[in-house]
Structure 1
Amino acid sequence: MTEIISTTILLILIMDPLGNLPIFMTILKNLNAKRRRVIVIREMIIALFVMLIFLFLGEKILNILNLKTETVSISGGIILFLIAIKMIFPSEDNNGKTSNEEPFLVPLAIPLVAGPSLLATLMLLSHQYSQNISYLVGSLFIAWFVTIIILLLSSTFLKIFGAKGVNALERLMGLILIMLSTQMFLDGVRAWFYN
């Protein structure tokens, strides 16, 4: 049970729904509320499909690339650490581009939700917990569900917390992600030394 909770929290932090709120709102602001909901649901289903592919084929991908778990753990920890730094210290051009076109696949599904760091994490987790893949699927679905709810309620979240409140929550999530990424890195280094 603890593994499911920690994995779910990790996946939610990497999906970063609060950090993606302003970007989603900017990209979809020229559309009516009903169409916005349809697009968010469609993009999240596409992202879920991509994430499940990487979850179930992650170990096979590692084998094809001849990568060891330690390597993926160390590099995954570094990537997550860099993402956490960006969450804590966001750049000014983090607000996406406004367009009258409806987004499809890019940038909402990939890379905002199912980005390279999440896909690499899913590959790593599928290798580490290959005997408990049902836990990972459960964690992924819970994290996906939380993310889609937050994104569907984006205007409500922005009204309740305001832009500064959302930024503060994202920075707090970044601090938690730094701790998780450091642990992932140290686990990889420890495993590398013992092998």
Structure 2
Amino acid sequence: MTIASAIFLLFLIMDPFANVPIFLGLLKNLPATRRRAIIIRELLIAFLILLIFMFSGKYILQLLQISESSLGVAGGVVLFLISLKMIFSGSEDIFANTPEGEPLVVPLAVPLIAGPSAIAAVILIMANDPSRWMDWSVALLVAWSLVGIILIFSEKFSQHISHKAFAAIERLMGILLTIIAVDMILDGIKKAFGL
């Protein structure tokens, strides 16, 4: 895997375009300056979580006696379900029952940015070639930065891009995520059977 493909994979999994309407909906009752501060805080928390799992995920898996193949299949299944939701009904309904007030960690940092699939992806990327830890760190930083730019300026994007356009982008990203999810599942199965 190249750095560019890792960036693309992580960017798709973090799915900022699908998250824009959710972030705007959850933060709509807060002042604009506070909204931006919350988004930055949640982005930093998500980045820290992904970085921790990138470097300690292999040891957590060993401690829990979970194989990389199981993680690949589980991450692929979760990603597949999320991608189907994105394609057929949008992801806004997933967090419709979130309590009022200022969110902290859940659901913005986790699972919207650093969700199960993103965590599984960073663990698998690092586990496949730990010697390239610097490359994977850069890939995560770049993907996270791109996601951050989109989410920080989400209000401006929503003024210039219609809700239908966001829905179309979300469905397109859902289709790409479906392909990635199936590939993760197949890779996990191949590893499990030594193929």
Decide which moves more: 105-114 or 89-98: 89-98
The answer to whether the Cα contact below 8 Å between 2:76 and 2:117 also exists between their aligned partners in 1 is no
User: 1:74/1:34 Cα in 2 relative to 1: closer, same or farther (>3 Å)?
Assistant: same
The answer to whether the Cα contact below 8 Å between 1:27 and 1:97 also exists between their aligned partners in 2 is no
User: Partner of 2:6 in structure 1?
Assistant: 7
Structure 2 length-normalised TM? 0.91
Q: How do residues 12-161 of structure 1 correspond to structure 2 at under 5 angstroms?
A: 12-90=11-89, 93-94=93-94, 96=96, 101-161=101-161
**C-alpha separation between the residues in 1 aligned to 2:61 and 2:48?**
19
The percent of aligned pairs where both chains have the same amino acid is: 43
**C-alpha separation between the residues in 2 aligned to 1:147 and 1:96?**
22
**C-alpha separation between the residues in 1 aligned to 2:99 and 2:63?**
39
**C-alpha separation between the residues in 2 aligned to 1:156 and 1:65?**
44
**C-alpha separation between the residues in 1 aligned to 2:62 and 2:95?**
38
Superposed displacement of residue 90, structure 1: 2.2
RMSD: 1.9
**C-alpha separation between the residues in 2 aligned to 1:11 and 1:125?**
10
Superposed displacement of residue 183, structure 1: 1.5
Superposed displacement of residue 192, structure 1: 2.5
Unaligned runs of at least 5 residues, structure 1 = none
User: 1:66/1:175 Cα in 2 relative to 1: closer, same or farther (>3 Å)?
Assistant: same
Unaligned runs of at least 5 residues, structure 2 = none
User: Partner of 1:167 in structure 2?
Assistant: 167
Cα deviation 1:60-80 (Å, max 9, x = unaligned): 111112222222222222221
Which segments of structure 1 move beyond 6 Å, counting only runs of 4 or more?
none
Corresponding residue SS for 2:121: helix
